[in-house]
Structure 1
Amino acid sequence: MPRSLLIISRQSPWSGPSAREALDIALAGGAFDLPLAMLFLDDGVLQLLPAQSAIQLQQKDITANLQALSMFGVEDLFACRTSLAERGMLPDELSMEPLHVLRDQEIAALIDRYDQVITI
């Protein structure tokens, strides 16, 4: 039986390649039916905002990769409520569906559910 994987994405979409790499890992794992989930934490929640202007920052847009997650079977998507609040973001304004917003104590329980955890 495949081991389950939780990918914790902590970087903003424009701070370098980390956000894209986390999505690439999720898409690859999903393509091989690996049981996995993604948690957007800290600046990683900024990836969930719609209408990002990646071209102005000379970065590649990750919106298509985010939208492709469900097509690759990655449907367990989580965001940290505290990270959202610290950045003035509301769950209703995010571009991901379905997205589960978790409190800090729920995040610890989420991490414990997975065999392997990658933080990027």
Structure 2
Amino acid sequence: MSQSMLIITRQAPWSGPSAREALDIALAGGAFDLPVAMLFLDDGVFQLCAAQQPGSLQQKDLSANLQALPMFGVEALYVSQRSLAERGLLNEPASLAVERLDDEGLSALIDRYDQVITL
């Protein structure tokens, strides 16, 4: 039986390689049919913003990787309601269909997974 894995991504897409690495892990796990979910937390919520322009920071665009998640079987996508609120993003449209969770929901989510990776 495959162990379930939750990947918590906490970094903005332009702040270094962590956001890309989290997506790569999720895509690889999905390619091998592992039960994988992603949680966007803290500055990681910025990855969900539409119409980003990372080229001005000499960064690669992660939107194609994000859009590929469901194609690789990574359909359980979550975002912290508090992180969105703290960053003024509550009313911004997300580039992906994600389930918003409060703090209690986050705790329950983390408890459901066998492995938790935070980047």
- Indicate the residue corresponding to 1:101 in structure 2: 100
Q: Aligned letter for 1:119? A: T
Q: Aligned letter for 1:59? A: Q
In 2, Cα distance between equivalents of 1:91 and 1:112: 28
Q: Aligned pair 1:28/2:28, yes or no?
A: yes
Q: Sort the Cα spacing of 1:32 and 1:91 in 2 relative to 1 into closer, same or farther, 3 A.
A: farther
Q: Give RMSD over aligned pairs.
A: 0.8
Tell me if structure 2 keeps the 8 A contact 1:12–1:43.
Answer: yes
Task: Quote the offset at 1:119 in angstroms.
Answer: 0.2
Shifted more, 11-20 versus 87-96: the winner is: 87-96
Q: Secondary structure at 2:37's aligned position in 1?
A: strand
Q: Secondary structure at 1:25's aligned position in 2?
A: helix
In 2, Cα distance between equivalents of 1:109 and 1:6: 12
Moved over 2 A (4+): none
Q: Aligned pair 1:75/2:75, yes or no?
A: yes
Tell me if structure 2 keeps the 8 A contact 1:9–1:22.
Answer: yes
Tell me if structure 1 keeps the 8 A contact 2:49–2:92.
Answer: no
Shifted more, 32-41 versus 88-97: the winner is: 88-97
- Indicate the residue corresponding to 1:117 in structure 2: 116
In 2, Cα distance between equivalents of 1:117 and 1:29: 13
Q: Aligned letter for 1:34? A: L
TM-score under structure 1 length normalisation: 0.97
Tell me if structure 1 keeps the 8 A contact 2:4–2:115.
Answer: yes
- Indicate the residue corresponding to 2:5 in structure 1: 5
In 2, Cα distance between equivalents of 1:19 and 1:91: 23
Tell me if structure 2 keeps the 8 A contact 1:91–1:101.
Answer: no
Tell me if structure 1 keeps the 8 A contact 2:30–2:36.
Answer: yes
Q: Percent identity?
A: 68
TM-superposition CA deviations, 1:4-63 (whole Å, max 9, x none): 000000000000000000000000000000001000000000000001001001001000
Task: Quote the offset at 1:93 in angstroms.
Answer: 1.0
State the aligned residue count: 119
In 2, Cα distance between equivalents of 1:40 and 1:88: 15
